[in-house]
């Protein structure tokens, strides 16, 4: 019975996606083939720009006692699906009460080092197909699969059998990337790592050290730099943050090695330098980051766009960075908030109401120093 249900749902999803992609050259930017971001600030009225100085207030702890959490997928009905990197399990967190309910586990997850169950994302057609996408490490590779999430089934049995849409992403003890997100164009983007093998980042035939762009079925998306390739941008070391601003421009965070971590504005087909360049190198043929940090101050993972700024959750830096933007350029110097207060910060994303963020700590990942009740999800008011 479950196999029939999965097949029916996937078939319905395919019909919806086929209809949505029938006219890729029409509609506003972000709804068809992507165009490159603007190269300079727009003539945005000053009254609409974010303030140079922002603010962060922790309003409440949504939930706590999470173990090795990594990815979060907000549900339209208000809950949060949270994945555990180490054991591959998924929990439903009631965003109002903090109650946790077991959803199920992703089969085949193999946790070694930084690998395991990483990013989660809901299908853009979730209302009709109820599909949850997951990026995870297996014994042989990193891959992306989708599963039906059925909250009407008994607790712990709410995930259907996985349908793998992409396999063969290189895996390693470190640098597995792992963030996935659907863009405004309804295509799936994935940030991957070069697994410590530096040459993969510059090899366009490898899926490692890239930002990938694909259809919800895992095929190269219309408008990619090369028609038969998933590669959207390359020359990355380890991408773990993806977010779009109000003009549908894609931003990504990237781990440096010893010197500079990066916030990059992503343009299709461009080379972001690793391992030739780390940080701002001003070398022809390579795109410099918009902002860079010392690795001790950042190690950026998840990012989110809210209140006119990019917000960056930092692991080693144990702080939340704010970068206010005037189009594609920083409006002011980055600001750090919550420094050292909650330990390692893994994921940040917009909350259901405007001006709020959800922030996920990550101290139980073997590299942090867990405090009682770690790990937790915090709700923030931000400006």
- How is 272-320 classified by DSSP, letter by letter? --TTT-SS----TTSPPPSEEEEGGG--EEEEEEETTEEEEEESTT-SE
Whose CA is closest to 342, among 79, 88, 91, 62?
Answer: 62
Q: Where does residue 297 rank: exposed (0-12), middle (13-18), buried (19+ CB within 10 A)?
A: middle
Which of helix, strand or coil describes residue 12? helix
Helix residue ranges per DSSP H, the chain:
2-20, 126-129
Question: For the chain, how many residues are written?
Answer: 383
**pLDDT at residue 61, as a whole number:** 98
SS3 content of the chain, % helix, strand, coil (to 5): 10, 40, 55
232 and 266 Cβ atoms separated by less than 8 Å:
yes
Contact indicator for 361, 341 with CB cutoff of 8 Å: no
Q: In the 8-state DSSP scheme, what is residue 173?
A: S
> Is the CB of residue 332 less than 8 Å from the CB of residue 53?
yes
| Cα Rg of the chain, angstroms | 19
User: What do you get for the CA distance between the two ends of the chain, in Å?
Assistant: 49
Tell me the C-alpha distance between 138 and 200, whole Å. Answer: 19
Order of strands, sheet of 345-350, starting from the edge strand that comes earlier in the sequence: 56-63, 377-382, 356-361, 345-350
Distance CA 59, CA 379 (A): 6
What's the confidence (pLDDT) of residue 196?
96
Structure tokens at 60: 């409440």
pLDDT at 172: 97
Nearest to 212, CA basis, from 252, 164, 163: 252
What distance in Å separates the CA atoms of residue 352 and residue 79, rounded to the nearest whole number?
A: 10
Check if the beta carbon of residue 301 is closer than 8 Å to that of residue 271.
Answer: no
Please, are residues 118 and 172 in contact by the beta-carbon 8 Å criterion?
no
At 165 the pLDDT is 98
137: left (phi over 0), alpha (psi -120 to 50) or beta: beta
For 11, the 3-state DSSP assignment is helix
198/381 Cα distance (integer angstroms): 39
> How far, in Å, CA of 289 to CA of 237, rounded?
13
Q: Which ranges of the chain have pLDDT less than 50? A: 1-41
Instruction: Supply the pLDDT for residue 23.
Output: 34
Residue 282 zone, left/alpha/beta (φ > 0; ψ -120 to 50; rest): left
Instruction: Give the sheet arrangement for strand 69-74, strand by strand.
Output: 69-74, 80-84, 89-93, 100-105
Can you read off the two tokens belonging to residue 222? Answer: 């219309």
């Amino acid at each position: 019975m479950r196999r029939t249900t999965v097949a029916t749902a996937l078939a319905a999803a395919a019909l919806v996606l086929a209809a949505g992609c029938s006219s890729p050259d029409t509609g506003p930017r972000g709804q068809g083939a992507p165009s490159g971001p603007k190269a300079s600030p727009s003539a945005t009225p000053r009254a609409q720009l974010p303030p140079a100085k922002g603010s962060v207030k922790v309003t409440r702890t949504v939930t706590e006692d999470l173990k090795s959490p990594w990815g979060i997928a907000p549900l339209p009905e208000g809950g949060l699906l949270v994945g555990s990197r180490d054991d591959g399990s998924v929990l439903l967190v009631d965003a109002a009460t903090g109650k946790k309910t077991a959803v199920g586990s992703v089969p085949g997850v193999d946790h070694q080092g930084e690998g395991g169950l990483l990013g989660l994302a809901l299908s853009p057609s979730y209302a009709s197909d109820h599909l949850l996408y997951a990026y995870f490490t297996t014994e042989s590779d990193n891959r992306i699969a989708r599963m039906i999430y059925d909250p009407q089934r008994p607790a712990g049995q709410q995930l259907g059998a996985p349908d793998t849409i992409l396999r063969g992403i290189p895996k390693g003890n470190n640098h597995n990337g792992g963030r996935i997100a659907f863009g405004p164009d309804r295509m799936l983007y994935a940030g991957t790592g070069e697994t410590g093998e530096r040459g993969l980042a510059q090899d366009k035939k490898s899926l490692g050290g890239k930002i990938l762009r694909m259809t919800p079925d895992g095929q190269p998306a219309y408008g990619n730099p090369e028609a038969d390739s998933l590669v959207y941008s390359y020359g990355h070391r380890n991408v773990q943050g993806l977010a779009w601003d109000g003009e549908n421009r894609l931003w990504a965070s990237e781990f440096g090695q010893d010197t500079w971590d990066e916030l990059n504005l992503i343009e299709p087909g461009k080379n972001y330098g690793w391992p030739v360049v780390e940080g701002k190198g001003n070398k022809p043929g390579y795109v410099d980051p918009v902002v860079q940090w010392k690795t001790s101050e950042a190690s950026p993972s998840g990012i989110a766009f809210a209140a006119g700024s990019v917000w960056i959750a930092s692991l080693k830096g144990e702080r939340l960075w704010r970068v206010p933007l005037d189009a594609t350029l920083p409006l002011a110097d980055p600001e750090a908030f919550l420094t050292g207060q909650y330990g390692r910060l893994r994921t940040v994303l917009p909350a259901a109401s405007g001006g709020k963020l959800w922030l996920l700590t990550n101290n139980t990942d073997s590299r942090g120093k867990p405090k009682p009740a770690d790990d937790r999800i915090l709700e923030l008011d931000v400006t």
